[in-house]
Each structure stands twice: as C-alpha cells, then as structure tokens.
Structure 1
Amino acid sequence: MAEETLNSIELATELTIAWLGNQNNRVSAEDVPAFLRTMHGTLLELESGSSASDAAGEETATADAFPPAVSVRKSLASKDHIISMIDGKPYKTLRRHLSTHGLTDVQYRERYNLRPDYPMVSENYSLARRAMAQRIGLGRKGRGAAPAPDEAPAANEPSPAPTPAKRTRRKADEAA
C-alpha cells in the first residue's frame, strides 16, 4: 500500500465532516465555513509548531471567552441550591452538571476565578446527606466504637460490661 499524506486543507475538511456527522452537534449552515477556516488555521499552526508561543496569549482570551451567567453572590444566595455560572440554572450539586460540560470543580473555579473553598454542593443538601449518613451509622468503627454524641452515657454511669461471645458446636462434633 502506498502511504497517503493529507495536506492541511484535506485534513481540515475530513475533521469538519466528522464533526458535522456527530449527532450531538447542532450547527447552522452559516457556521460551517467559519469552523472549517478555524480548523485549517489550527492545523497550519500545529504543522509549523507555533502553537506553543500562542499559548500565553490564549490564556487571556479564555478568561474573556467565558463570561459568568450570574454573579458569585447571586450563585450562592440560596441555601437550597447553587446557581451555575455556566447556564444560570439552580442545582443542588454542581459536579454532575460540570461533568456534562467536561469540567472538574478545579477547572470551574479557575474558569470563573472563584476561591478554592467555593462550594460545589448546596448547604441544605449537604446537611441532609450528613444527617442521613449519621442515621445509617457511617463514620463509626463497628460495635466497639464510641456511641454517637447524643447516645453517650453520663459521666457517673458505669459503662456496660461486654457480653461474652456465643459458643457454637461444630458440625463435626454433632456427627460424632
């Protein structure tokens, strides 16, 4: 077989066709030439190796490319939900919403210049989950662990004596 080499125009065309063939992309016909030009320009940059020098200029452009839908104060105004800065909709937890946009919580905080302690879960939802976890016993270390603070015995009461382990017969003893 002869080795085929594609020039940047053919490669950009192939990539554009593949992108348009994806059922999740909804694009109007007017946007296709602009995307093809962008794809071709990107391929030319990659061929020439100049993309590394443009990386610094691109970082400042990305900060302006993602304007927040709401202010930080408004996103945290309610204890029942957090409003997403991506689309302005309320969510109890942002993690699944961010994953649909291909972001982690760290990337989200960097994109919108948020503090590292910016919450990803609403306050009331977090409290409800915590109460449920305590009710089912998460966080305790088995039977010998100290009881929960509301179940602790008074200081002057003696602690109950441990119950001896039950002895059971072995099946071999029963057969004899």
Structure 2
Amino acid sequence: MEEENLNPVELATELTIAWLGNQNNRVSADDVPAFLRTMHNTIVELGSGSSAADTSSGEAAPAEEFTPAVSVRKSLASKDHIISMIDGKPYKTLRRHLSTHGLTDVQYRERYNLRPDYPMVSENYSLARREMAQRIGLGRKGRGGAATPAEAPAASEGSAAPAPAPTPAKRTRRKAAENA
C-alpha cells in the first residue's frame, strides 16, 4: 500500500538511485539529471495511461537523419584506408568500428544510402590479407593441394622435375631411446 502513495518524483528518484547503484552502469554526473527527468516523464506517462504515440496525434515519428562526416568519394579516396562516415576517421576495416556503434555493415549502408557493394575493408589491406592467406596455404585442398601460381607453369612445361624427397618421420622419445 505504501508504493501506491508514492508520487512520481519520489518513484523516479528511487528508480534512478537503484539504476545508479548497479555497478554495470557507468554514467557521468552530468547525465544523471537528464536520466532523472526522463524517468519522471516516463512514470507520469505510465501513470496517466497515455503514451508518446497518443500525444503525437497519430503521426509517425520521422526517421532520424544522419549527416555523413565525409562524402562517399572522399571515404574511398585512399587505397590504404576507408574513412568512416560516422566520425570521419580512417580505418583499415570498418566492421569493428561499426560494432562499437551498434551497427552492422548492412545498417551502415542503409543509414548513409550506400550501394550494397560499398567496401568494408580497404583495398590494400584486403590484398595483404589475401597474399598472407595464399602464403600459408589457405584455400588449397588437402596437403598436396593445387600448385601455387609460381609452380604451375614449371610443372606444365613437360620437363621431368625431380620429385621432392620425402621428409623423414619425426623421432619420438621412445625411438630415440631404443636407438641410443
């Protein structure tokens, strides 16, 4: 019964104190009054039975407009990095940057009206990753796999190149002890 007698200010204050007491919420002191006002307004709306949709007289809220920090052309001007339209800073890859802003690459493209093939990784960084993957053998089937592009012409010339000598099996401790 005591909770029914609480006025919206006291209830908003109690909820704000509880929210600030949670160790997972990190808020600066400047943001607390704004949070308290928002909490109070929400309690008053809930108490009166009206909602923000009722007060807007049936009109849909306009979608938030996002102004890009740079143009699309400037964003892709360098092959070494892509400039983010969110903050105007250069990145080799945008995916981690977008995730810190709660966006996926699809949402980012929609927000700034970008084409579906707008890159998320800079051109030079992509080439460097590709070269590294090829060097370590990613994409080849099995251990023998396809020959690398440098080996393919030599094998197709018809010259009988000697097969590489098989590598000796690794000696285990037991075999080493037996042979000693």
TM-score higher than 0.5:
yes
Once the two structures are aligned, what percentage of the paired residues are identical?
72
Q: Write the distance in 1 (CA, Å) between the matches of 2:38 and 2:147.
A: 63
Equivalent position amino acid for 1:154 in 2: S
Instruction: Determine the structure 2 residue equivalent to 1:138.
Output: 138
Q: Write the distance in 2 (CA, Å) between the matches of 1:99 and 1:40.
A: 31
Distance 1:89 1:148, change over 3 A: same
Query: Quick check: 1:115 aligned with 2:108?
Result: no
Q: Write the distance in 2 (CA, Å) between the matches of 1:46 and 1:150.
A: 71
Equivalent position amino acid for 1:146 in 2: A
Query: Quick check: 1:83 aligned with 2:83?
Result: yes
Query: 5+ unaligned residues in a row in structure 2: which ranges?
Result: none
| Aligned partner (choices 57, 60, 70) of residue 57 of structure 1 | 60
SS at match of 1:99: helix
Deviation sequence 1:33-78 (CA, Å, 0-9, x none) = 5544444445666775856788x834x332x1x2111111111111
Query: Quick check: 1:129 aligned with 2:132?
Result: no
TM-score of the pair, normalised by structure 1: 0.67
Query: 5+ unaligned residues in a row in structure 1: which ranges?
Result: none
Equivalent position amino acid for 1:143 in 2: R
Q: How far off its partner does 1:130 sit?
A: 0.6
Distance 1:162 1:92, change over 3 A: closer
Q: How far off its partner does 1:3 sit?
A: 9.3
Instruction: Determine the structure 1 residue equivalent to 2:102.
Output: 102
TM-score of the pair, normalised by structure 2: 0.65
Distance 1:77 1:154, change over 3 A: same
In the alignment of these two chains, the number of paired residues is 166
Distance 1:52 1:129, change over 3 A: farther
Q: Write the distance in 2 (CA, Å) between the matches of 1:14 and 1:113.
A: 43
Q: Write the distance in 2 (CA, Å) between the matches of 1:20 and 1:69.
A: 37
Q: How far off its partner does 1:4 sit?
A: 5.2
Aligned Cα root-mean-square deviation (Å): 4.3
Distance 1:112 1:49, change over 3 A: farther
